[in-house]
Structure 1
Amino acid sequence: MTDNCLNQARALSSQQRYAESNEICDLILRADDRDVAVLHLKALNLASLGEVSFAGNLLQKCSKICPEDEKVWLDLAYIYSKQGEYDLSEAAYRRSICLAPDYSSAYNGIAVIQARKGDYKSAIATLRQAITVNSNDLVSYNNLARLLESNKEFKSAMMIYQRLLTLSPTADNYQSLIHSYLKAGLSKAAASTCRDGLRKHPKNIALRRTSFQLENGPVKVSPEADQKVKKQLEVILQLLKKDNIDSAGQLFEQLYRENPYHPLLLHDYGLYCLRHTNQQTTKFGLEILDRAVLIYPSFLPPYKTLANYFYSQDDFESAILFAKEGIKFNQSQSDLYYVLAMALKEIGKLKDAIQIMEKGLKVGGHIPIEMYHELGLLYDNVGQFSCAKSYYQKALSVDPDYYQSKFNYGLLLSRSGFVDESILTFDELPFLDRNGYEALLYALACHPEKHRHLPLYLKKWPKLYAGHIVAKTAHFKKNKQQKIRIGYVSADFRKHPIAHFMTGIYSHHNKNDFEIYSYYNGMNVDTYTSQFKSQSDQWRNIRSLSDQDLEHQIKRDQIDILIDLSGHTSHNRLPVFVAKPAPIQVTYLGYLSSTGIPQIDYRLIDGYARPDVGIEKLIELPNCYLCYQPLESGISASINAQSKKGYVTFGSFHRLSKIHPRLVNVWSKILLRVPDSALLMKTRYLDDPEIKMKLLDKFIDNGIDPKRIIFKGHANSLTSHLSAYDDIDIMLDAFPYNGTTITCESLWMGVPVVTVAGQVHFSRVGVSINTNSGLPELIGNDENEYVKIASDLAEDHGRLAEYNCQLRRQFLDSLVCDPVTFTQNLETTYRKMYHHWRHSN
């Protein structure tokens, strides 16, 4: 347990979540306040938080407990140095070297102290020792070269820079060598090295700037020319205000011919070219803006313009390049930090984006509300609930009506289990766009009482969000092919739960009778996308199509049966179904309730679902309403956790939005009936202290020892996620919103799932899956039965072991995992729908 906690604390520290890391460190230290590894980590966290004195005290304690730990002495030396205690620092560094003679970083630390004291000769000698014991120590090479330059030993410095460049041919190291050559008066060598550097780093701004300076020499603008240009730019500004674009362009062109190097002209003319002209002059505008950057490094407007332009063109690499270069020369511009962070976000570097945005907030001056909002989104994306919540609240303190922050804050609350607060937040919004309303629908479905109101909200959806669409009553003609043409519409033809349930259908469709059209509304493309595409007769990427364009495309394709696989989930295309582009319209799988859309004819369920009546006609598929296929075949079933640990562990891998106080109360009853058992909860946000304490408080109120509740956050890979099944014996289903993928996955991993039968479809998924898997004994008719079944099973170790050995094979052999039979039944249903339509017309 301690090792797991320490690893979690280290992971948080590596994410710069130092305070959270120290909370875990403090928990471990309660059991053992002399654990050096934990004390050491806590000290490093404190140092990063600016608490240098406290960090030093802890490291001193570590050095006394374990005086042979060279890393402790190294970090203690650094702390002493930060405090200005140079003699103590040097002594600690030397102690570290005694314990680990190849610690070049300790030599480097001593050299820094010697240089600060003005003893450059000793510092140089010490750095030479550092690169002797570690010939790959780049930091020591760099410091040595700089010291040699300061000591006017240019030839020796050049040799070190050359060695450094051989070890690490970065653009910065090229720059260092070039400047060393220039200081020594070797301009030809500098130019040659610059050309070499540009061959390796053709986009590097610093190298291109040096090249420009070497080729053109210094550029100057006379005071007279400066005044003339500024007056003319005022004239141009007035022309632009009057929308006299062409006259402004002519004056820009004339002024540029006369003054090709004026910084303000280069920027304003370049900006004009980007905004007001064609592709050819856009290229010219970029060139002169780039020239401004090369000639005038500290002139910020061109950096901002170029960074924002490239970001708008989805050229995130170039946006990052110009934003970073601008920040080098001025760290007080929050908008440069903002565009840099946004570009990093777009290329998936979320942690880097967070660091940059945080720095942008510290520069002072006006902070745009978007920075708070985007930081909230970034922290949300990496699963840091408390930080995300804090920044959404900061954005709302600036503008309480800022829609995006309020919506995303409501979404965050829903996803993290604060469903009541989420619903309240959505209700406070003066209006809800379609995404907001559908987020509200999900929150209502997860609520133990308010889920009963869901049909009323669904009924309102068409008028609120598709009232402008007129359902066409045109007479549909049979397509010229003899095959029935099926159109599946989804944003989830990718690595997604939908893939588990559609893969078998796509693989087993009868292509003699059916023609499959896939309408993909997603952005991500992976191996599963390729598989769906290869098994489709026609594949349509529809993400960029308007509702009207998609409607026309479906009509041109002459689809007979159009099937919505999303319902009210993300990136659905339900408004198109309101337009009725196909004679038969069906909703299936992605949403376990009615769509509320009168133009959708059918909803596919099974006889076990017994849902509340929706607006669509309900069609019961034989046996189970879904067909599960595992996406990873090479992973073995879970081991018997009870036999390994000596006690039973219940599990919940459900989203926090499905976990509410009533459910916690029921789970507490199970834990009280099985005194030696534990509950492992694993999902997104469960590594956040605030979320954990919220849940723990509820269990503690029910008399449960908090040590019996184990939390795990989001797994970084499918393998890591599936390995968590090795740590549980029984999965506890959620209610009223049952698990679907988690239930199937759990059974496939050999872990039985105990469920309770509800009154609507999403509350009876567990009934359907367990019944069709031959496990009716794991279904409770009410909460009391649910508690009894789970607790009785936990006491029956022989039965648990039997499930563990046989459950995967039993599940895979069941009707839930029979794609051939399922697809035949589905196609029979499609034929009946089709023939009914033909005969009714």
Structure 2
Amino acid sequence: MAASPDELIAEGLDHHRAGRHREAAQSYQRVLAVDPRNADALHLLGMVAQARGRYAAAIDHIQTAIKLRPGIPSFHNNLALAMWRHGMLDKAAEQCREALALRPDYPQCHNNLGNIRAEQDRLDDAVACYEQAIRLKPDHASAHHNLAVARLKQQRFDDAVRCCREAIRYQPGYAKAHFHLGCAQKALGHTSDALASFQTAVQHDDGDARAHPQLGLLRAAGGDLSGAEKSFQAAIGADRNMVESIRGLGDVYAKQRRLDAAEACYRRLPESADVLNELGSALRGQGRLTEAITCYRRALADDAGFVAARQNLANAFMDAGDLDEAIDAFRETLRIRPGYADAHSAMLFCMNHRPSIDPQELLGAHRDWASRHANPGDAPVRLDNEPDPQRRLRVGYVSPDFREHVVARFFEPILTNHDPEQVEAILYAQVEIEDEVSRKLKRLAGAWCPTGAMSDAELAARIRQDRVDVLVDLAGHTGGARLGAFAHRPAPVQVTYLGYPNTTGVDTIDYRLTDGVADPDDQDRWYVEKLVRLPLGFLCFAPPSTGEPPVMAPAFESAGHVTFGSFNRLSKINDEVVALWSRVLQSVEGSLLHVKSLSLNDPAIRQRMHERFERHGIARDRIVLLEYVHGRREHLATYGPIDIALDTLPYAGTTTTCEALWMGIPTVTQASEAHVGRVGMSVLHQVGLADLAAPSGDEFVRITTELAGDTDRLATLRRTLRDRMMASPLGDGVTVTRSIEDAYRTMWRTWCAAS
């Protein structure tokens, strides 16, 4: 016996509710084969078509049903839905009004009309519709949620939170409501609440790609890069073309220094100036400077006013050793945005590398930075620090380098050896991603204050609140410095030290810690700050803590020739340095030179380096260009084949000189007039090798040649330098720290006396 139309419709509804849309359609079509004018079957067939995304067919079926049986509110409501999804917004609104004329107390139709008005950007009308739906049906979770979305668009975030909570109260597993709750909480700055809401959204609907990228962004901002990576990967798994997540994942990889993976992400994105800038930075971080420069130039061709790309272009030129081009690019950046303090600082840092720079010009450039960027304009705030010359001091250190960074290697011994009865150390950390070094320094400090989210004024206020007595800048004009906060005078005594080889130019910084070798008595005129010369040297080096390679036998014994080396940045190896080193190689028959720098990962730069030496008659088989290696142990091991390290000028090495000494390798330096070129001389004085500091190029060649010929001395130094270094002031953290804290005490007493 054949099934009746009612039985077929019931069968179709069972399939329909189970999501078996094809089978449902077949049941309804069997009804229509018997009764073509069955309005219920036509209406339901339209609903199936709508569920399958076939909106034109849905509209046709439901319109036919309405003609056959007018006056049914649900028919008009569902026709409105099909028209809305087909982009026919005005006609969809008309059908909603038809339905509501037939049934004014129809909450679902008020909700649907609200959705249509929202898409038409008629948000006030949408809100009225949602509120009417809720009045008619207070537990209408969808209407509460849709009202929340409208409030979000109106930037009424507190109202959006309230509406989302109502939706969740009536439907706890409502993933979209949890998602939009997170959006509202994020907009209000309630980061931890937003994180929890996005996590709940994912738990209820892991396939919804929208919550994952929001989770990724929040986790990345909070420093949870591993969690952010998982969130972005989950989002991409749900939607492989989700640009926001691919970009977010690339940014996470960049912060993790997984630059090849970051590069791969950026190359998947549609090309834009912003993406080209990020791709350029990923390439630059791998030492692929030629490609990076091309990316930055393409970004600037698309957007000539893109100052971040222009500054990055300048930095890439500097990395490649093209100092004049770098400075021109920095100046163009400042022409476009005169208030760009970070780019101005980067230009000052670059200027320190130029062989021809005049000290007076350099001082003027630093003063110019201060006049532009270190004038907060607010009235001086009265400091209420207790002027007791004998009490325990609160010393604040401000730096972006409380992480795996060369500055941390010189700062750690000072923090480790602080006298806790005399000094409380507070670290103001401009650190984006904390690492194991950060955690170690945090344990050693009296307090740790992240500063990345603070403006200069806010940081200064926090320092005043902490009643810091002596505030120490450890960065100068290097990346991430906070000199603008010092301009607000948040502490009675302000000092600069360690991270930058020149004056800050900032009048509110009172003192600069140095020593008498790095800054002889005639150097005071080149500083805004008063120089305080520490008696035994201004540096203290923290050797590798674990896993350092042993000192090897002298390299010349197995190689049969002397090998020179330099692991300094390429920006320090200017044409004058190449000419000087070439004279050394010509003077020491059969000798080789090892040069290692990240920039030498670039084939074009390697070729250019060989050509620079060839112009001085040095064959390329005598110049060994080493690519960058990851890991500190692996890096130190590359000192093994070297007998003598050659320093750069006018910007001398610091970390590279100390690392060479640690590995038993003496360094020869040529001291210049300014501090930037005398740090190597200071280090050598500390370890008792002052005779290896040359006053001129001729003396540099003579000293190096004689040392290369003194194999007994080389062998002795190789065997004893590590112990000698650690027994010297350079390795004596206690003594150097006492001298620094004595200096703080003297500065403090001077302020107390003036108060």
Q: When the two structures are superposed, what TM-score results if normalisation uses the length of structure 1?
A: 0.66
Please tell me whether residue 448 in structure 1 is matched to residue 355 in structure 2: yes
Pair 1:765 & 2:679 matched: yes
Displacement of 1:828 in angstroms is 1.8
Deviation at 1:381, TM superposition (A): 2.3
1:443 counterpart SS class: helix
Shift of residue 386 of structure 1? 2.1
2:282 is aligned with 1:378: yes
The letter of the residue matching 2:278 is E
**Cα separation, 1, equivalents of 2:636 and 2:564:** 15
Unaligned runs of 5+ in 2: 1-50, 60-78, 94-113, 137-142, 168-173, 181-206, 221-227
The residue type paired with residue 766 of structure 1 is: G
Residue of structure 2 in register with 1:437 after alignment:
344
The aligned counterpart of 1:428 is 332
Output aligned runs, 1:315-330, within 5 Å.
Answer: 315-327=228-240
Counting aligned pairs with the same residue, the percent is 30
What amino acid maps onto 2:330 in structure 1?
F
Counterpart residue identity of residue 600, structure 1: I
- Aligned-residue RMSD, C-alpha: 3.6
User: Whole-Å Cα distance in 1 between the matches of residues 479 and 435 of structure 2?
Assistant: 18
**Is 2:306 the partner of 1:393?**
no
Change in Cα spacing, 1:660 to 1:767, as seen in structure 2 (3 Å) is same
Question: Conserved in 2, the CA contact under 8 Å of 1:471 and 1:599?
Answer: no
1:724 maps to 2:667 = no
Larger RCO of the pair (alpha carbons < 8 Å, separation 6+): 2
1:496 corresponds to which of 397, 405, 408: 405
Q: Distance in 1 between matches of 2:352 and 2:538?
A: 20
Q: Is the 8 A contact 1:738 1:764 kept in 2?
A: yes
Residue type of the partner of 1:226? A
* 8 A Cα contact 2:547 2:633, kept in partner: no
User: How far did 1:449 drift?
Assistant: 1.0
The answer on 1:641 being equivalent to 2:555 is yes
Matches within 5 A, 1:336-347: 338=247, 341-342=250-251, 344-345=253-254
Deviation at 1:237, TM superposition (A): 9.4
Q: Distance in 1 between matches of 2:392 and 2:261?
A: 53
* Paired position in structure 2 for 1:587: 496
Contact 1:651-1:681 within 8 A present in 2 as well: yes
- Identify if the C-alpha distance between structure 1 residues 798 and 536 changes in structure 2 by more than 3 Å, giving closer, same or farther: same
Structure 1 residues 666 and 538, CA gap change in structure 2 (3 angstroms): same
CA shift for structure 1 position 397:
2.2
Amino acid at match of 2:369: W
Aligned to 1:683: 597
Please state if 1:245 is matched with 2:123.
Answer: yes
Aligned to 2:104: none
Tell me: CA distance 1:465–1:242, structure 2 relative to 1, closer, same or farther (3 Å): farther
Q: Decide which of 531, 539, 559 is 2:468's aligned counterpart.
A: 559
1:607 equivalent in alignment to 2:516 = yes
Match of 1:404 among 308, 313, 317: 308
* Residues 312 and 533 (structure 1), Cα distance of their counterparts in 2 relative to 1, 3 Å cut: closer
Paired residues of 1:560 and 1:584 also in contact (CA < 8 A): yes
Alignment match, 1:60: none
Contact preservation (8 Å) 1:606, 1:623: yes
Residues 286 and 705 (structure 1 numbering): CA distance in 2 closer, same or farther, change over 3 Å? Answer: farther
Q: 1:340 to 1:660 in 2, by over 3 A?
A: same
Q: 1:288 to 1:829 in 2, by over 3 A?
A: closer
- Aligned partner of 1:457 among 355, 365, 368: 365
Q: Is 1:472 aligned to 2:380, yes or no?
A: yes
> Aligned pairs, how many?
604
Distance 2:460 2:741 in 1: 24
**Letter of the 1:824 counterpart:** R
Change (3 A) 1:348 1:659: closer
TM-score by length of 2: 0.73
Which letter maps to 1:403?
Answer: V
Closer, same or farther: CA 764–282 of 1 in aligned 2, 3 Å: farther
Change (3 A) 1:252 1:384: farther
Distance 1:735 1:348, change over 3 A: closer
Task: Indicate whether 1:629 and 2:542 are aligned.
Answer: yes
- Mean Cα deviation higher: 795-804 or 661-670: 795-804
CA–CA distance in structure 1, aligned partners of residues 433 and 581 of structure 2: 37
Which residue of the partner structure matches residue 176 of structure 2? 287
Tell me which amino acid in the other structure corresponds to 1:373.
N
Contact 2:383 2:491 in 1 (8 A): no
Counterpart Cα distance in 1 of 2:430 and 2:705: 44
Q: Secondary structure at the match of 2:275?
A: helix
Following superposition of structure 1 onto structure 2, how do residues 163-174 of structure 1 map, counting pairs within 5 Å? Answer: none
Q: SS state of the match for residue 739, structure 1?
A: coil
Partner-residue secondary structure (3-state), 1:449: coil
Deviation of the 1:528 alpha carbon: 2.7
How big is each residue's C-alpha offset from its partner over 1:637-682, in whole Å with a ceiling of 9 and x where there is no partner?
2431111211111111101111111111111111111130111111
> Which residue is 2:651 aligned to?
737
CA distance in 2, matches of 1:761, 1:369: 39
2:289 aligned partner, one-letter code: F
Instruction: Work out whether residues 493 and 528 of structure 1, in 8 Å CA contact, stay in contact via their aligned partners in 2.
Output: yes
The question of whether the paired residues in 1 share the 8 Å contact of 2:497 and 2:513 is answered with: yes
Tell me which moved more, 380-389 or 278-287: 278-287
Q: Tell whether the 8 Å contact from 1:669 to 1:787 is kept in structure 2 after alignment.
A: yes
C-alpha distance in 2 between matches for 1:603 and 1:242: 63
The question of whether the paired residues in 2 share the 8 Å contact of 1:491 and 1:572 is answered with yes
Q: SS in structure 2 opposite 1:664?
A: helix
Q: Distance in 2 between matches of 1:477 and 1:248?
A: 58
CA contact (8 A) 2:661 2:721 kept: yes
* 2:506 aligned partner: 597
**Aligned twin of 1:184:** none
What is the letter of the counterpart of residue 487 of structure 1?
Answer: G
Match of 2:454 in 1: 545
The gaps in structure 1 that reach 5 residues or longer are 1-216, 259-264, 292-301, 362-366
Distance in 2, Cα, partners of 1:464 & 1:825: 35
Deviation at 1:796, TM superposition (A): 2.1
One-letter amino acid of the structure 2 residue matched with residue 726 of structure 1: G
How far did 1:615 drift?
0.8
Shift of 1:346: 5.4
2:40 corresponds to: none
Distance 2:654 2:164 in 1: 52
Measured in 2, the distance between the counterparts of 1:694 and 1:508 equals: 46
- Determine the structure 2 residue equivalent to 1:523: 432
For residues 231 and 269 of structure 1, the distance between their equivalents in structure 2, rounded to whole angstroms, comes to 22
- Larger displacement relative to structure 2 (629-638 or 765-774): 629-638
SS in 2 for 1:685: helix
1:251 and 1:336 map into 2 onto residues whose CA distance is 34
The counterpart of 2:725, out of the listed 804, 811, 831, is 811
Conserved? CA contact 1:729–1:800, under 8 Å: yes
User: What's the secondary structure of 2:404's corresponding residue?
Assistant: coil
Kindly state the Cα deviation for residue 447 of structure 1 after the two structures are TM-superposed: 1.0
**Where does 1:190-205 land on structure 2 (aligned, <5 Å)?**
none
Change (3 A) 1:829 1:565: same
Measured after TM superposition, the shift of residue 745 of structure 1 is: 1.4
Give, as a single letter, the amino acid of the residue that structure 2 aligns with 1:652.
S
Give the aligned partner of residue 662 of structure 1.
576
d(CA) in 1 for partners of 2:517, 2:421: 32
Cα separation, 1, equivalents of 2:682 and 2:179: 64
- Inter-partner Cα distance in structure 1 for 2:164 and 2:650: 57
Contact 2:401 2:408 in 1 (8 A): yes
Deviation at 1:805, TM superposition (A): 1.1
